[in-house]
């Protein structure tokens, strides 16, 4: 009466495909890096300075092997799924508790109002929750944490203290001077010098990291005109401070949208950098922009000009005006030209909210 047990050959049971190996290995390593980031954050809270330790080429390649673009698209679809009314409060309450969200600032505090996670992530604030500083020249375009700021030197920008990236790699090739209405820089000048349009000016930068619990919309940091958009499809690695300290030129690897134009002191740009689960970057006045799309390949970029025969001035933006939004959280990088007496009113690592002063003359 014994029953026969049919077994498959061992080779078939343990057959692994290269894709599965990459996902398992890369995912495991990403988890290990998350744990390392947590330990670094604990050291920083205790006031212990953490030495810079950059990732090797193989570590970066292994991290990039994780299909973060595919996973982010799947996460985006999941966020669009409408939750049953009875489930909304428990799910959102867990998120609020985990990331310290202040719902008293939200325009709609009732959690049942948000049909899905995407709507909750992109919640609007009460008008009085973020007063815009009228005195300073440049305000924070978003809530977040200041990772770095200061004057740009030798065509290198600091993403965090001690870790830099190339200005030209980040912004891409120089946009035509006719398109931005800038004077032609003398031949032979460096990329940095070509961006400076007025004698005596310098280039400055500011990096703001948006955590998952932060307000996810971003606004115009000053009065300026947007003339050009450049979209870089790329990886979607995490951009939290621990990873930014670990991977050199992290912002140059990741998908990003660069808005370029000018303000009263010359060149001005705002770059929205994508991250894991943040493949969706939306610019309100740009309906042609589609980020984290499989139709775009990594390593390329596509340009779009807002100057045309019908609109020769570009898109004017007022300080504090709604500009765009992320899904979840990410990073904003400001690179702009200003006189030498421009001063930042910041400290590295400080928390900042949309509308507060970044700097002034």
Query: Is 219 noted as a catalytic residue in this protein?
Result: yes
In whole angstroms, what is the distance from residue 345 CA to residue 237 CA? 30
DSSP track, 65-95: TS-HHHHHHHHHHHHTSPPPHHHHHHHHHHH
Contact partners, residue 184, CB within 8 Å, separation at least 6: 177
Closest CA to 290 of 281, 278, 301: 281
Query: Is 262 noted as a catalytic residue in this protein?
Result: no
- Say which DSSP state 192 is in: H
Contact partners, residue 92, CB within 8 Å, separation at least 6: 111, 114, 120
Distance, CA of 59 to chain centre = 22
Instruction: Give the angle subtended at the CA of 123 by the CAs of 354 and 117, to the nearest 5°.
Output: 130
Q: Are 237 and 276 in contact (CB under 8 A)?
A: yes
Selected catalytic residue, list 220, 227, 269, 330 = 330
In whole angstroms, what is the distance from residue 70 CA to residue 26 CA? 14
Q: Are 325 and 302 in contact (CB under 8 A)?
A: no
Reported in sequence order, the residue ranges of 182-252 that DSSP labels E, i.e. its strands, are 201-209, 217-219, 224-232
Query: Is 143 noted as a catalytic residue in this protein?
Result: yes
Selected catalytic residue, list 205, 216, 219, 231 = 219
Selected catalytic residue, list 65, 142, 143, 253 = 143
**35, containing H or E segment:** helix 18-45
Which sequence positions are flagged as catalytic?
143, 219, 330
């Amino acid at each position: 009466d014994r029953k026969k047990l049919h077994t498959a050959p061992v080779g078939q049971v343990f057959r692994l495909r290269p894709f599965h190996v990459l996902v398992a290995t890369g995912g495991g390593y990403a988890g290990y890096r998350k744990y390392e980031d947590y330990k670094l954050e604990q050291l920083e809270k205790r006031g212990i300075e953490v030495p810079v330790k950059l990732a090797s080429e193989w570590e970066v390649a292994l991290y990039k092997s994780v299909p973060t673009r595919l996973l982010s698209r799947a996460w985006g679809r999941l966020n669009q799924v409408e939750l049953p009314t009875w489930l909304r409060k428990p799910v959102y309450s867990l998120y609020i508790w985990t990331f310290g969200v202040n719902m008293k600032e939200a325009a709609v505090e009732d959690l049942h109002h948000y049909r899905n996670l995407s709507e909750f992530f992109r919640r609007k604030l009460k008008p009085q929750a973020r007063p815009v500083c009228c005195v300073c020249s440049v305000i924070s375009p978003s809530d977040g944490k200041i990772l770095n700021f200061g004057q740009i030197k030798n065509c290198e920008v600091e993403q965090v203290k001690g870790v830099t990236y190339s200005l030209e790699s980040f912004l891409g090739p120089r946009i035509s001077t006719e398109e931005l209405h800038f004077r032609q820089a003398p031949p032979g000048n460096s990329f940095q010098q070509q961006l400076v349009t007025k004698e005596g000016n310098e280039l400055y930068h500011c990096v703001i990291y948006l955590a998952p619990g932060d307000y996810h919309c971003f606004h115009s940091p000053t009065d300026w005109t947007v003339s050009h958009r450049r979209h870089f499809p790329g990886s979607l690695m995490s951009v939290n401070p621990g990873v930014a300290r670990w991977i050199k030129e992290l912002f140059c690897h990741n998908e990003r949208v660069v808005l370029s134009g000018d303000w009263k002191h010359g060149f001005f740009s705002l770059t929205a950098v994508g991250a894991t689960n943040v493949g969706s970057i939306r610019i309100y006045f740009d309906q042609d922009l589609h980020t984290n799309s499989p139709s775009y390949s990594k390593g390329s970029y596509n340009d779009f000009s807002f100057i045309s025969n019908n609109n020769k001035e570009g898109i004017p933006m007022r300080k504090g005006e709604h500009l765009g939004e992320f899904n979840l959280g990410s990073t904003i990088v400001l690179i702009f030209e200003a006189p030498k007496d421009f001063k930042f009113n910041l400290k590295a690592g400080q928390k900042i909210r949309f509308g507060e002063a970044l700097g002034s003359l």
